[in-house]
Structure 1
Amino acid sequence: MDKAQSLFQQVSLQFQALGQVEALVLTTFGLDIEYLEKSILPSFFPSLGEGPSSEPHRPLFEYLEENPTPISVLFDANNLVRGEMSLSASTAVLKELRWQSFPVIRSGYCFHPKVILALTRQNDIQTLVIGCGSANLTKPGWGRNFEACVIDTIPLKQGMRSLLLKDVYDMITALRKDAKGSDALDRIKAAVDGIGMERYKNIVKGSHSRLWLGSKHHLKSEQTNLVDWVQTNVISRNDLQDSGAKWQLDVLSPYFGEKPPELLHWVSDCFSTNGSAKVRPSVLVYCPRDGDLLDITSSTFSSYSALPNVNWGEFKQNPLVSEFRDHDGNRLQRFLHAKVYRFWSPIREIIIVGSANATPQGHRDTLQGNDEACMVIRRQIPEGAPKLTSWLRPLNKEVGADSCKDVIIQEDTPPHITPPIITLEFDWENFEFNALSKDSRVLKLFFNSEVKPFLTLDAKEKVCRLTLKKAQVDALFRSASIKITTPVHDDQAWLILVTETNLHLKPPAPSMERSIDDLLRDWQLGPEQRQAAQISRAAMPMEHGILGDQSSQETEDLVATDRLNDLFLAMYRFRSDIIKNIEAARQDSNSFAKLQLKTRLFGRGAMSVRYFLGKLSSSLEGDEGGVDVVERYLGVMSLKDSLNRLHPKLKGLRVETEFRSLASSVEQEYRKIRRELKKELIHEKDSPSPERLIRWLEHNFDYDQRLPMGAQR
């Protein structure tokens, strides 16, 4: 709630001391993909630097290319945005970083939780990070609004007991039903399963942090609405009615229903039987403003005011003043988007922070209640500290229903026309596209900017599978989304993101392409050196140096490169790095090192063997900064030799199938370049027999050769 610190800063500070992120799950109502990649995701990797928010975050891209941290983002399918605007169905959606998207489709209500869930490792200690708040994964959510978020950590220990961990595990189970195939959720679940968590036979009350996920998928259906969960796990009726405890309630919410949620009815009823007729506990509800008007309707104002012990309130001091100013120099007002329910007394407080607006829909009091999440924290002030007071003061009595707006558009109002109930998946390993429609309408599917549908789904539940052609794969690579229409609503179209699997086999984003000399430079460095170099290049101003996205060709006047020497040094470093990964993977077959190993050897990322092979093959001598056929031949031969040396060390890691496929690709490329070299040598007048020369090279190619003592080079 401290306005001096942003959510970026809080998240970065929290993750700075937690080591490597091994899995990350984010849930949200609204999603801005561009802002997520450039500004939000970097805050979970603080060691990589913030980077310019207007440009791709190059250090994070490079990091994820060889450290395949599983990242999953669940969001309401109807709320893809860019800036303040919803995306049209024809918008191209380019994902430059490697993460899985899971659009969640709800009929008649919304997917509305804002959860942060991460698995981290510092040395050999794994920690679960759980956060819950009100901020969408958008620029207003993380950069402008007044939001609330709580973050807690759970160090994982063998056989441990934790009510919060139990709640998190139940949430993981529920989320996996909406995110089947989520590598991040699967990895976190496996980590919790691995410690053999012991569950409480009886709920233990006390100063525990707790998590509530209101969802139709939640196992405990009797506690899917907020008021029941609060009574059972947070504060009981007897506690509220204890006059000696002196409980009060502050409520912050940007939106309110025409009728108060059941939680306020219940608290009002408890307070009515607590205290004397003159002095009773009260509920103060923050009243949002829009200029001189109250940002609620008159019926909302009256219905909440009618509850005993419930009053509208305002901040004692305005915390919504922004650091930004308008054209006239006046400070702007931030929009209060926080959802907080604060039970407080002079000496302690219980704060519920989350995504639930103070509406029946937000609290799941109705059958069409949203999916929501809240987290509770408890605090008792030390002896001698100042007593706690309310965050609010009663609203001026002169302000009444006549100061209200006529119409309010709620944030979580379901769309008038329900989006298609459909799941779209694409596998980068076999290029298989799966579409599962549970919609009662005929659906037509289009690739971005195409006018002819590539697939039509009947109005029945059925999985449709097809292998995409190269042009279709390229279209999906350029925009990981599908436009969907239905004859029932000719003027309506929807943009649905595709869930991608086997992301390590996806090529790098076009904006992150690099030349063969860039690759040789990076392959000569260890992982930590590469990371440091990328951070330095990203932070270097244009006028003071060479930016990381410039190719080696642009600097050849400054640096003379010995490409063959670079090539052999790169292969040496490559083998050293892989051997380290192999040793770490042998110690723990489920370790992050095995993911790194498979990504570098068998993936298609910017630091993968296949990407290097492709650049070596396609970088022709006639091109700017191209590679001549001799360099290409020696390059592919040295790569082949390196893989042959590594092959015996990989035994027992269950990667034989992938290795055979990789070795076959390298062998094919080797034969192709060998033929090209032979043709080139035929045209050389002074060249000996091309075949004999090539065979001599192959027979004598050995990294371990040493000249005899005294021999001349």
Structure 2
Amino acid sequence: MNDQIPKAVLTEALREQISGRRVLAALFCTFRFEPGFFEQEILPALFDLPLHQAPAVRRLQLEDALRPLAGQVAVYYDRGALVVGDGTACLDVRRIPVQLTRGYFHPKNAFILVEDEDTGERALVALTASANLTQAGWWENVECFHLDEIPEGGRSRTAGDMRLFLRRVRSLAKHLGPHDALDQVNAFLSTVQPITQRSTNQVLHPHFIVTGSRSGASLVEQLDDIAGKWLRGADLEVISPYLDDADASAPLAALLDRFQPQRWRILLPEERGSARCRKSLYEWVHARGGQWGRLPAAHTARSGRQASGLAASPRYVHAKVYRFFTSDYEISFVGSFNLTGPAHQAGGNIESGVLVEVPRPRRPRFWLEPVDETPDFAPTAASEDDDVDLDVIPLLVRYDWTSEKADVLWDAAAVSPPLDVHQSGPLFTLPPLQSATWTQLPDADARMLAERLRSSSFLTVVDGDRRGVVLVHETGMAHRPSLLLELTPAEILRYWSMLNPDQRAAYIAARPGDIPDGGAEAPHIPAAEPVDSIFDRFAGMFHGFASLARTVREALTDGRTEHARFLIFGAKYDSLPVLLQRVLDDTDGDLVDRYLTVLCAHQLTSEVRQDWPQFWASDPIGVARLETSLAARAELREQIAARNGEDMVDFLDWYEARFLDDPAEVPA
């Protein structure tokens, strides 16, 4: 950061920092949250995958990529700032709303735990930014961010403060859990050795700063405590899209009084050519000896599809940057802090930022170009709560795909009124609910909710004249049916046999026009050409099961337990229980093929039960469902024997014992 304003694409910078390493956990914090955009455009940065251009096919690829991370990707967001947007919320992401009694949950962070698969070395990629998890934040606005990496067992000045921040986030989301991603990141940070000194060799260490605790210090007090001797007397530049709707800025006055900058300049918040602040505040800045400024047009101009001819409006400046610089050094503070009272004071918003000394290849200069002419003023000042749903309905809804149970909780002090819940029409009605108490839904309502969740996790809740949108908190995602796709038994076996993600993606995308973006229908991919011999049919079946067994063994050996769970106990389009159910439902199919498929499944599950007993015991509901399907082998045997005479019973006894490799069952 110097007189040349740095530029980078946030998604590309994050992907480059991860650098092809395997993601073990990912925790995001945001004010505004657009789940559809997050799933389609931000999640892909976590994976080194050649994703298909069709959104529906890409969603299927991401669904597969998330399997080893089951429960280890989480987003914490302000409940009043949910953005429905385009798309839906359907992938395995823990979506956890946070609501403060005072102020907003306003941080913008990502904590991504990664591992080098060759060396086994782990690290934490830490992103601190001004960008919400929305299309505007990651694609359209002018934003700022700081990326850092903390090695396992290394030393860090920020790790301790990050742990305190995560502890605060966990306490605010006390009603929803589990918090697997947060716990993993916190456990990793506990291995990092703290750096206690503020600087080394007169170079400031990065500092992670948080406000929001009533017993804590204000932003100005924290800046002074950390780096006051460097900040005093330096030039000051403030870029913030929001200011207090007041005649004077109390947080700016606190900065000026505390640090006495030689020169200072502040961004003029503008929209459609008008200043979004009071005229009296504009004049107050000049009276205090400051200047208003704008970013150069080259940094706010739209490009590509964003532009709409010469009349296109400039990009909205949403960055939050505080630059302190002299001829000798520059110290910048970037993050979520607007120049407002709730952001700066103790007990206001929960905010986060990083104070960092920036390498100085040349003498720093102001980024903002001075505004010489008095602008027009908009009727109202820009506010942090612009577009926030002030009619928040404090209902929490969770659904567990493993137990097939649903619960609701009224997160307010008083008893709730009766509530109507909708999704594409009425869903169910809730009677008055006690405060802060989970109430299980009737089984019929839970089944109806599960059916609607296959299309979207958004619900509309109606309280009289108030309407609010809530996101269902889903767990047990291995047992969640695939949103977009169903395969025939032959197609599942072919899918298991494919060698790499590229082949599987090409197979799924064979008929992309048949896969809907909305996910309301579940199309069939064209089946393979019929084979000509019993040998070809059986060889394909055995090869498919051998490939599945190899994949499961590798996953369990490598500690990727959740990936194995999806395949052995899950409800996805390529899971073993789904194959068995398809076979058992296909009463017109070849009887011997159906019998051999169940026998292969029995062989595979016996191996898993014997070699990985802890994994087998970890999902009793999944085991029970699987064993119910496997029990159909007896009925299929009877049907084969009935068609072929009593000698077939002896043959099947001998064949099954040989097939299952159990000498105890081989007749003498």
TM-score (norm. length: structure 2) = 0.86
User: Which digits, 9 at most, give the CA deviation of each residue in 1:333-379, with x for residues without a partner?
Assistant: 211111111112223211111112211122236x5x22222122212
- Structure-1 separation of matches of 2:52 and 2:263: 44
Q: In the alignment, does 2:602 pair up with 1:640?
A: yes
Question: Which region of structure 1 is more displaced relative to structure 2, 200-209 or 317-326?
Answer: 200-209
Map 1:69-148 to 2 at 5 A: 70-83=72-85, 94-107=88-101, 109-122=103-116, 123-148=119-144
- Structure-2 separation of matches of 1:416 and 1:538: 39
Alignment match, 1:174:
168
CA contact (8 A) 1:39 1:53 kept: no
**What is the CA distance between 1:521 and its match in structure 2?**
2.0
Alignment CA distance shift 1:62-1:452 (3 Å) = closer
Alignment match, 1:710:
none
- Structure-2 separation of matches of 1:32 and 1:416: 14
Alignment match, 2:437:
462
Alignment match, 1:38:
40
- Structure-2 separation of matches of 1:462 and 1:414: 30
Structure 2 counterpart SS, 1:116: strand
Map 1:563-642 to 2 at 5 A: 563-585=537-559, 593-618=560-585, 620=586, 622=588, 627-642=589-604
The amino acid of 2:14's aligned partner reads: V
Q: In the alignment, does 2:393 pair up with 1:420?
A: yes
User: Which digits, 9 at most, give the CA deviation of each residue in 1:372-426, with x for residues without a partner?
Assistant: 2212221232xxx432211123210x315xx211213524259685523343332
CA contact (8 A) 2:399 2:407 kept: yes
Alignment match, 2:461:
484
- Structure-1 separation of matches of 2:53 and 2:661: 40
Which blocks of at least 5 consecutive residues in structure 2 are unaligned?
514-521, 664-668
CA contact (8 A) 1:284 1:393 kept: no
Alignment match, 1:286:
267
- Structure-1 separation of matches of 2:508 and 2:402: 32
**What is the CA distance between 1:579 and its match in structure 2?**
2.8
Q: In the alignment, does 2:40 pair up with 1:60?
A: no
- Structure-1 separation of matches of 2:512 and 2:471: 36
Structure 1 counterpart SS, 2:112: strand
Alignment match, 1:312:
292
**What is the CA distance between 1:50 and its match in structure 2?**
7.0
**What is the CA distance between 1:704 and its match in structure 2?**
11
**What is the CA distance between 1:659 and its match in structure 2?**
6.4
Q: In the alignment, does 2:354 pair up with 1:394?
A: no
- Structure-1 separation of matches of 2:507 and 2:479: 27
Alignment CA distance shift 1:551-1:502 (3 Å) = closer
- Structure-1 separation of matches of 2:511 and 2:624: 43
- Structure-2 separation of matches of 1:117 and 1:519: 36
CA contact (8 A) 2:115 2:123 kept: yes
**What is the CA distance between 1:42 and its match in structure 2?**
0.6
CA contact (8 A) 1:422 1:435 kept: yes
User: Which digits, 9 at most, give the CA deviation of each residue in 1:625-652, with x for residues without a partner?
Assistant: xx4232121011111112212322214x
Map 1:441-520 to 2 at 5 A: 441-443=415-417, 444=419, 446-451=421-426, 453-458=428-433, 460-466=435-441, 468-469=443-444, 470-486=447-463, 490-509=464-483, 511-520=484-493
Structure 1 counterpart SS, 2:558: helix
- Structure-2 separation of matches of 1:355 and 1:12: 21
Map 1:186-225 to 2 at 5 A: 186-193=183-190, 195=191, 197-199=192-194, 206-216=203-213, 221-223=215-217, 225=218
**What is the CA distance between 1:43 and its match in structure 2?**
1.6
Structure 1 counterpart SS, 2:462: strand
- Structure-1 separation of matches of 2:271 and 2:618: 60
- Structure-2 separation of matches of 1:661 and 1:75: 32
Q: In the alignment, does 2:624 pair up with 1:657?
A: no
Alignment CA distance shift 1:520-1:494 (3 Å) = same
Q: In the alignment, does 2:303 pair up with 1:323?
A: yes
- Flag as ranges the 4+ runs of structure 1 deviating above 6 A: 538-543, 557-561
**What is the CA distance between 1:662 and its match in structure 2?**
4.8
Alignment match, 1:277:
none
Structure 1 counterpart SS, 2:341: coil
- Structure-1 separation of matches of 2:460 and 2:151: 43
CA contact (8 A) 2:36 2:84 kept: yes
Structure 1 counterpart SS, 2:266: strand
**What is the CA distance between 1:70 and its match in structure 2?**
1.2
Question: Which region of structure 1 is more displaced relative to structure 2, 162-171 or 286-295?
Answer: 286-295
Structure 2 counterpart SS, 1:47: coil
- Structure-1 separation of matches of 2:56 and 2:594: 37
User: Which digits, 9 at most, give the CA deviation of each residue in 1:515-574, with x for residues without a partner?
Assistant: 32332123224xxx332324556888979xxxxx98553552799994422221122223
CA contact (8 A) 2:510 2:525 kept: no
Percent sequence identity over matched residues?
21
Question: Which region of structure 1 is more displaced relative to structure 2, 596-605 or 40-49?
Answer: 596-605
- Structure-1 separation of matches of 2:351 and 2:531: 57
CA contact (8 A) 1:133 1:353 kept: yes
- Structure-2 separation of matches of 1:647 and 1:119: 31
CA contact (8 A) 1:343 1:351 kept: yes
User: Which residue of 215, 223, 228 maps to 1:230?
Assistant: 223
CA contact (8 A) 1:447 1:481 kept: no
Structure 2 counterpart SS, 1:457: coil
- Structure-2 separation of matches of 1:437 and 1:595: 32
Alignment match, 1:373:
352
- Structure-2 separation of matches of 1:554 and 1:647: 32
- Structure-2 separation of matches of 1:121 and 1:140: 31
Alignment match, 2:519:
none
Structure 1 counterpart SS, 2:631: helix
Which blocks of at least 5 consecutive residues in structure 1 are unaligned?
85-92, 275-280, 544-548, 586-592, 706-713
- Structure-2 separation of matches of 1:491 and 1:656: 50
User: Which residue of 7, 14, 18 maps to 2:17?
Assistant: 14
TM-score (norm. length: structure 1) = 0.81
- Structure-1 separation of matches of 2:70 and 2:532: 32
Structure 1 counterpart SS, 2:423: coil
- Structure-1 separation of matches of 2:362 and 2:511: 49
Q: In the alignment, does 2:8 pair up with 1:5?
A: yes
Q: In the alignment, does 2:380 pair up with 1:407?
A: yes
CA contact (8 A) 1:51 1:539 kept: no
Alignment match, 2:518:
none
**What is the CA distance between 1:694 and its match in structure 2?**
3.8
Alignment CA distance shift 1:251-1:201 (3 Å) = closer
- Structure-1 separation of matches of 2:607 and 2:561: 19
CA contact (8 A) 2:427 2:449 kept: no
